[in-house]
Structures are given as C-alpha cells and as structure tokens.
Structure 1
Amino acid sequence: MSDFDYDLFVIGGGSGGVRAARIAASEAGARVALAEESRYGGTCVIRGCVPKKLMVFASEFCHVPEEARGYGWSMQADGFDWTVFSKQLRTELDRLEGVYKSLLDKANVERFDTRATLRDAHTVELSDGTTKTAKHILVATGGHPVRPDIPNADLGMVSDDIFLMDELPKSVLIVGGGYIACEMACILHGLGVEVSQYIRGAQILNGFDDEARGLIADAMETRGIDLHTGTNIVEMCPADEAEARDADAAHMGAGVGETGAMVGDSSMKGTGQGRSAEGKTGPVWVKATSGREKVFDAVLFATGRAPNSSGMGLEDAGVRLGRGGKVEVDDYSQTSVPSVYAIGDVTDRVNLTPVAIREGMAFVETVFKGNPTPVDHALIPSAVFTQPELGSVGLTEEKAAEQEEVEVYCTSFRPMHSAFIGKPDRVLMKLVVSKENRTVLGCHIVAPGAGEMIQLAGVAVKMGATKEDFDRTCAVHPTMSEEIVTMRQPVRTA
C-alpha cells in the first residue's frame, strides 16, 4: 500500500482539472481526488465560453427580421426578453455542471466540494481543516477577471457578473479592447443595449492581425457601437453623487461639496457608494481622459485577468510564482516542487480551454502513463466571437514579417448573403506565406462562422501546408471560404 491517501489530488474542477482527474483514474488506474470550491466546469462552462457563446447566438437574432425581409419574408421581432433567456441559460449551466460531476463520479474520482490549499509538497488542506496526502498534486485553479485600481471601481461589473444580471441595462460602458471586451460589446449591442467602448490603445484586439482587427472595428462602428480609442477612465462615481456635486458647485461657485471630498478622491475608494442592499449599482457617472463626461446604466471592466494563485500556500510550499502570480512550470507542467504540477490559466501560458485540456492530458501521459509528453503550444487556432467573427491560426503579418520575408495573399469582399440585400458587411480572407519555403505561416478570417472555418484551416497550417497545397485544393462554390484556396497572386510582400 502507498503511504499516500491518493496517487493524485487535483485542486480545481474546471475543464483542465476534470479532464486530468478522470483520465488518470479511468485510463491509468490512479486513485484520484479533486477539490472545487465553487462550481464544476470552471470559467469556461459557468462564467465564460459556454454562456458567452449562447449569448452570441441570442444576440445574432436581432438581424434576422431585417435580413429575412430582404429575402422576401414578412417577419417582425417583438423584442428580446432577458428574463426568459437568462432563466434558460442558468438551467443549461446547471445541467452542464451536473455532467462534469457525473464524469468524475463514473471515473471513481472522489470529490470534495470545498476549497483546498497546499500544506506541503504532498499535502493539501481542506477548508474544514482536514488534510489529504497525495503522491502528486495538480493545481488547476484557473484565473479571475480584475478591476483596475481606480477609485469606485467596485461600481463596475466584470465578465463574471454579466451572466448574473437580473435585467439588461439600457446603456453600458465597456472598458477594454481585448477579445472579452469586444465580444461583450457586440453581444450587448445585439441584445438592444446602447454600447460605448473605451480602448486605451490605438486599436481593438491587440495581438491579432492588424488588417483583421481594423475590419472588425469598422464593422462594430457601422453597427452602432461607440468606439473610443486612446481613451480611459479618469473618474467614476454614482450618478446621483455627481449630480449633487454639480449642484453644490453651482451653489458655492466651487468644485467641492459640503463634504469636502472631490470625486475621485482616494477616500472614496471601495466605499461601494451607489450600491443598493441587493448589491446592484445605479447609474454611474464617468469622466474619460478625453474630457468626455457621461452617465451609463452600467460599466463593464474587461481589463484583464489574473491567475487564482493567491492564498493557496503555494509559495510557502516552495512553488515558484512569476509575474502577476502565475505558477511557473516547465515544458511538462511541473513546478519548482517536483511533486506539484500546474495546468491551465493559473500558469498564464495560453489561456484557452482546449489548451488547458491538452495540458491536463499531457500531464497524465507524463506522470501516470510513463510517456513524457511536453505541451505543444505552437500554432493554436483561436476565435473571437465578435460580429463578424475572427478566426486566426499562426503568425500575424506583422509578426511573420519580423522573422522573415513573406508574401501576403488577401481579399476582402461583400459576401453573397449581404450583397443581395444591400448590407455593407464585408469579410476578409488572408494567408501569410513564407517567401523562402512557401509554408503558410498564418491564416486569418473575418466572417460569419470564422471560428468554424479556422478550425479546419488550422489542420492544414499545423501540418505545415504550403501555399501550393492550398492552391491544389478545389474550391467549394459558392461559399465565402473558397477564397482561401483561390487567391493566386500576393497583394504585397513584407
């Protein structure tokens, strides 16, 4: 008998942790336990990918009546009912959480529905003080959204809060320009919310192909989303407080009210002013770096995420943490403590659900199946579910041009579906090709369904396909994606 209670103890019941636990138990015969302090399924199932994609589906129906009329149908929309949708959404998330629990139970993984922290290299402590020992410990605690460090930031929501809203706001300010910010901007606009977006940088979707993100920004503005680049928040406070301050200023001829507290003073930080007893906020007054002042029904901060590594006893046990609290690991997901491994967003490598799952499977291969398997983070396809969607795999034109001379094959056009009814929507198909060996270094698609397309294109790019391999592939006509295999001449070299 082993001196340990378990062969493996997993901390975290998200997609990566659950996959590693059940594969280690069912395929490798390991004795496995898993602790989850919140809900099974983690960010992806409960607070991220799944509810977000369902909201994307809901938001896309706003265009259906208009488009249907363009095709000869008589159709009228009566408006979107958030209460109906959110009730069904929560039911679906409950069902999926049940599936995750069932998968663990069927694999004979012992579940602890509580918080677990690291006591030492082989011991975890549950919130009730109970300790469990394991030969190997896997940290798969994920990450969480963060608010900016500004006064009254608690008046704003983060992405976790979106799915818990009792009702839709009439107007919202989204702060941030990354994929979460842009996806939520498109979703909420599609559901009938007036959306403004403040982006600190010069363009949305930093890190993605410049041409692709420029087209998406144009499409967002054309649809009615109020984008402000080079803009951030200077001050924010409850709208009624700003109104009272302005009234005092008008009465006293100064910008200080009777309390002597200027809006934005650090004494107001974290006071929660403007919140009701239920924890809701009323309208929020916001002043931007541009000088613009406006009241919004809600503010959403999509300003980054951080690993869930704090307060877990990791450093006390000898686990080395890096910048921002990420758990530092090697190519096999092993930490500085040999018996402790970490996967997923807590390691801040490539923060995508399928990547966490693959890291979990590679961990099981390495530790329990005797097959050392490094994690492959190269050429990972990804999708941004804006409207239109962005699908991307490989290098952007900008990154590719930094390492070698490339040819760029690119086309942008109005697809048949839009052109027929006079809509201005455009799509983009782009290949970045090595001039030296003709390998396709990157593929970028902006179009409805781009996420579905890039999954298939990702197979070819991962295999090292050349431009000539694409050229030899017969087109499927009439489709948008056929342009990927019909572009014959480069539009430029870089």
Structure 2
Amino acid sequence: MDVIVIGAGPAGVFAARRAAELGAKTTLVTREEFGGMGATDGPVPVRTLAHAARLIREARQLSQYGIAVSEPMLEYMRLLARVREVVNDVRNFSLRPEDMDRLGVTVYEKAGTARFVDPHTIETESGLRLQADKIILCAGGMSRRLSVPGFELTSTHTDAWSATAVPPSMLVIGGGATGVQLASIFNAFGSKVQLFQAGPRILPTEDEDVSAAVAASFRGAGITVREDFGTIESFEKTPSGVRMVFSKGDTPDSAEAAVAFVAVGWVADSAALNLATAGVETDARGYVRVDASLRTSAPHVYAAGDITGRLMLVPQAIEGGLVAATNAVRGASTTLGDLVSPIGSFTDPEYAQVGLTEAKARETHDAVVAVVRFDETTRTIIDGRTSGFCKLIADRATRAILGCHVVGERAVEIVQVVAVAIAAGMRVDDLARVPLSFPTYAAIPGRAAYHVAQQLNLGVEGQAYAPA
C-alpha cells in the first residue's frame, strides 16, 4: 500500500512513522521544512523567547537574595540566533528525521503547497506529482485574517517571532493564548504593549478567575488591557507605525503603535488543497470534517492535527497522526478517544488548566472547590513568587477530579500532576494521600486536594499527605 502524508508537523511526522512501521510505502511532503509550525513557528520558538523573558525577570529578582548584578540588557539578535539553534536542535534530536530514513519514508521538504489533481494524486508547487492508495492530511492551520480596510498593515505572530528588533510599542489584537503570549513576552523585552480583546475578558476559554488574575497581573506590569473594546473599523499607516481605528456604539476611538499584531483565531490551511477534487468536505471555517477514526468524507483520505479544528495542541496532534495512519493502513477500527488535555501558556504570570472550568462543572455536577493561594505555600514563598493560586474542582458524590486551574509560577508544570491523576481515574482523596515531595510546586495540587477532601469529610488526616 502507498501512503502520502501532507504536512511535516507533529501530526504528519508521527503519521508517516506509523504508516511506515505498519508496512506502507510512505511519502511525506511538506511545504516548508521538516518539523512544521510546531518546531519553526509555534511552541518551540515561542517557548524559547518566553524563557528569555523569564531569565530577565529572574535577573531582576537577584537582589532579593543578596546577589548584586547590573540591570539585564537584551541583545535581541543574539536571542534570535539562540532561537534558531533551539529550532534546529529540536528538529534534529527531538523529531528525529533520521527515523524517516530508517523506516524508508521518502521525505520532500520545501515542496510548496500541495493540491489534489484527482482523488489519488497530488501535485506540489515545486512540480512533484505523486499518487497513493491512501492520503493523510496534516497541513496544519494559519492565522485568521480580518476583512477590514488596511489589514495589510498588520502583522501576525510569525512576523513577531522573526522581527529583527524589539518594537518600541505594539498593539496586540486578540486576547487568546497567542495574543497574551505576544503581549507578555514583548512587554518583558521593553515594548509598550496595548492588548485588545473584543469579548468581555481575555483568555475567554479559561476559568473566569484565571482570566481576571492574568488581566490584573498584566495591568500591574504596565500592559494596557482593553477588554470589550468595540469593533475595528480600519488600520491606517502613520509616520511612526500604524493606527487602529475602532468604535464602541457611537463612540469612535483609536490607538497607535509602531506595529500591530493580529491574533484573532486560527483557521485550517486547507484552501489551496483543492479538496473538492478528492471529495473531502470542510466546514465553514475550512476545517476538514472527520469521523471518530479521523476518516474524511472521502474513504481513502484521513486527516489529523490543526486542519481538523480539534484541540490544536502538539500531544493531540501526535495522537491524531498515529490514529489516522493506523486506520489508513489497517482499516478504520481505531478511534480517537476523549484525551485528558492539559493546556497552558508560558506568559508572566503562567496560567494552565485541565478539565472543566468551575462554571462548566457547576452546570452538571455538585462541585466542590478548593483554592490554594501562592502566598501560603512554602515553595512559592521561598522563591519569592507568591502571586497566583491553584483551584481544584471535584464532584461531591463521586469524588472525581473535574478540573484544575492555576495562575502563577510553574503553573504549566503543576497542572500536569492533576492531568495524570485524572487520566489514572484517581479520586480527589487519592491525590490528597500521595506523599509529594516538600517543598515543591508539584505538591500544591496535593494541598488543594487535601482541602477538598476536608470539605467532603473524607478523613485524610494522618495519611501520607504532606503540606505544600
């Protein structure tokens, strides 16, 4: 059997590996370089810049601990060189392109955009023409564009990561995960940042307490946060940059900066694939429709990753690629289950979550909630990182852990502990009894679990619980 995989991000890489392992003659075609957006334009470069921002913040904290140093100074071009090093190392050592050679996968990099010319044949901008019995679409996504005059004057997150200098000021339009990362990182680098969110709160998919805490921290750090700001009318060029013209009701307003970054959503990168030729259906946003086995409306075509519009995270993309490839080669018998999916961002402050928000939990459960503040946990006090909290939510009747939401230092790492507990089917009192090391960030959700167990009169005192 011949299999073509289109796209070499996490979904595509693991789909190609799996198809080859199952004995298919596999070809991997990518528009740009091996690794896709995840390695070259997403989590890897973003996290590298965020780490630099963290180092700046930590350097400014040194005097609290009796360490005298001069004020840190960012050399942005050297940082970008480090970003390139990290991207190359991740591509070479984490994604392991040599595995493709070992498995016999034929890889075509920088092939340009691929398109169907008939149901089993694709053609690329570079002139490749390939045929296969099964095709797996892993072409990813791209930033959503706005239909307003002057939009061409704006930039995307891709432009932000590849800028050659830190802009003195910036507008960030969109208060979701990408927008808040842009705002946080470049604020740490010295930009004067204005963050705009059309809805009533930034991070609208997070727990309401998380959104409020991050917004308050951003304002305290000097970021202007404009929530429910109105409707964008246009973007205009100014002598020093760009102006955004907007209005709320009948009240006109505007904001100016050196650059304007728009991060108002993510859509499938599917328009150029000529999917109709293969009989592949999409929804209104261009996402490829798939069933539980990740098969499209065309029985010989499967899809995984961002192009499907499902939870657009690297672990889920990898799992989707494995499922799609397995079913493409063996037949549609494996389904993509309900994965436990921790989500977080390396902003300042960090935020993270897994499971249901408190509001969602209360809609369908008799929810019990405990909040542990970071100014009352030992490790955060030691580290001087006392802003934030950990909220744990459980079901009163079943004692099941329903969700966890964290704002503050190491939030992303903390939530992983609860994600494992949920995946393992642990009850909240089970988590409370785990003797997590002291003093650690990982022990904080254990303390929250202990407080929930106390509310439920579960008698965890005297067990292996250790305070955080």
Q: Give your verdict on TM over 0.5.
A: yes
Of 364-373 and 222-231, deviating more is 364-373
Contact 1:238 1:283 (C-alpha < 8 Å) held by counterparts: yes
Please tell me the residue identity of whatever aligns with 1:21.
Answer: A
Q: Report the Cα offset of residue 98 of structure 1.
A: 4.9
Q: What residue is the counterpart of 2:5 in the other structure?
A: 10
Call closer, same or farther: CA 1:460–1:294 in 2, change over 3 Å.
same
2:434, 2:446 within 8 Å by CA — same for their partners in 1? Answer: yes
CA contact (8 A) 1:173 1:196 kept: yes
Counterparts of 1:7-86 in structure 2, within 5 Å, are 7-25=2-20, 27-86=21-80
For residue 137 of structure 1, report the CA deviation from its aligned partner: 0.4
Distance in 1 of aligned mates of 2:169 and 2:256 = 9
Secondary structure, in 3 states, of the residue corresponding to 2:225? strand
Question: In the TM superposition, what is the alpha-carbon distance from 1:348 to its structure 2 partner?
Answer: 0.3
Aligned to 1:386: 347
Q: Tell me how far 1:210 sits from its aligned partner.
A: 1.1
Long gaps (5+) in structure 1: 1-5, 241-281
The answer for the alignment partner of 1:110 in structure 2 is 106
Structural mapping, 1:220-235, within 5 Å: 220-232=218-230, 233-235=232-234
What amino acid maps onto 2:68 in structure 1?
S
SS of residue in 2 equivalent to 1:80: coil
* Structure 2 residue aligned with 1:123: 121
- CA offset at residue 453 of structure 1? 2.0
1:391–1:78 distance in 2 versus 1, CA, 3 Å: closer
CA distance in 1: counterparts of 2:422 and 2:388, whole angstroms: 21
Question: Relative to 1, partners in 2 of residues 1:286 and 1:131: Cα closer, same or farther, differing over 3 Å?
Answer: closer
The CA deviation string for residues 457-483 of structure 1, in whole angstroms up to 9 with x for no partner, is 211111222111122122432234433
**8 Å contact from structure 1 (residues 39, 97) kept in 2:** no
Question: Contact 1:350/1:377 (CA < 8 Å) preserved in 2?
Answer: no
What is the CA-CA distance between 1:78 and the residue it aligns to?
4.0
**What's 1:297 paired with?**
258
Q: Any conservation in 2 of the 1:40–1:97 contact (CA below 8 Å)?
A: yes
Q: CA, structure 1 residues 45+195, in 2 after alignment: closer, same or farther (shift >3 Å)?
A: same
The aligned residue for residue 172 of structure 2 is: 174
1:89 aligns with 2:87: no
Q: Secondary structure at the match of 2:402?
A: strand
| Stretches of structure 2 lacking an aligned partner (at least 5 in a row) | 457-468
Deviation at 1:130, TM superposition (A): 4.6
Partner residue of 1:244? none
1:362 alignment partner, one of 316, 323, 344:
323
- The SS at the match of 2:328 is helix
1:427–1:446 contact (8 Å) kept in structure 2: yes
Residue 329, structure 1, aligned to residue 290, structure 2? yes
Q: What TM-score results when the alignment is normalised by the length of structure 2?
A: 0.89
SS in 1 for 2:61: helix
Q: Secondary structure at the match of 1:338?
A: coil
Q: Could you say if the C-alpha distance between residues 102 and 162 of structure 1 is closer, same or farther in structure 2, counting changes exceeding 3 Å?
A: farther
Q: Structure 2 CA distance, aligned partners of 1:380 and 1:417?
A: 26
Q: Secondary structure at the match of 2:275?
A: coil
> In the superposition, relative to structure 1, how do residues 419 and 132 fare at CA in structure 2: closer, same or farther (>3 Å)?
closer
User: In structure 1, how many angstroms separate the alpha carbons of the residues matched to 2:131 and 2:143?
Assistant: 31
Q: Distance in 1 between matches of 2:395 and 2:291?
A: 30
Count of residue correspondences? 445
- Equivalent position of 2:149 in the other structure: 151
Contact 2:233 2:246 in 1 (8 A): yes
TM-score, normalised by the number of residues in structure 1: 0.85
Q: Is the 8 A contact 1:71 1:421 kept in 2?
A: no
1:237 aligns with 2:236: yes
Cα gap change, 1:410/1:418 in structure 2, threshold over 3 Å: closer, same or farther? closer
How far the C-alpha of 1:421 sits from its partner, in A, is: 8.7
1:340 aligned to which of 282, 301, 313: 301
CA distance in 2, matches of 1:338, 1:371: 9
**SS in structure 1 at match of 2:390:** strand
Deviation at 1:200, TM superposition (A): 0.8
Q: 1:430 aligns with which of 374, 391, 395?
A: 391
Structure 1 position 103, deviation (Å): 3.3
Q: Secondary structure at the match of 2:415?
A: helix
2:426 to 465, 480, 485: 465
1:289, distance to aligned residue in structure 2 (A) = 2.6
- Percent of matched pairs sharing the same residue: 27
- For residue 190 of structure 1, the aligned residue among 166, 171, 188 is 188
1:311 match: secondary structure: helix
- 1:430 deviates by 1.2
- d(CA) in 2 for partners of 1:310 and 1:76? 52
The 8 Å contact of residues 342 and 353 in structure 2, kept in 1 or not, is answered as yes
Task: Tell me: CA distance 1:20–1:227, structure 2 relative to 1, closer, same or farther (3 Å).
Answer: same
In structure 2, what residue type is equivalent to 1:335? T
Highest Rg: 1 or 2? 1
Partner letter of residue 153 of structure 1?
F
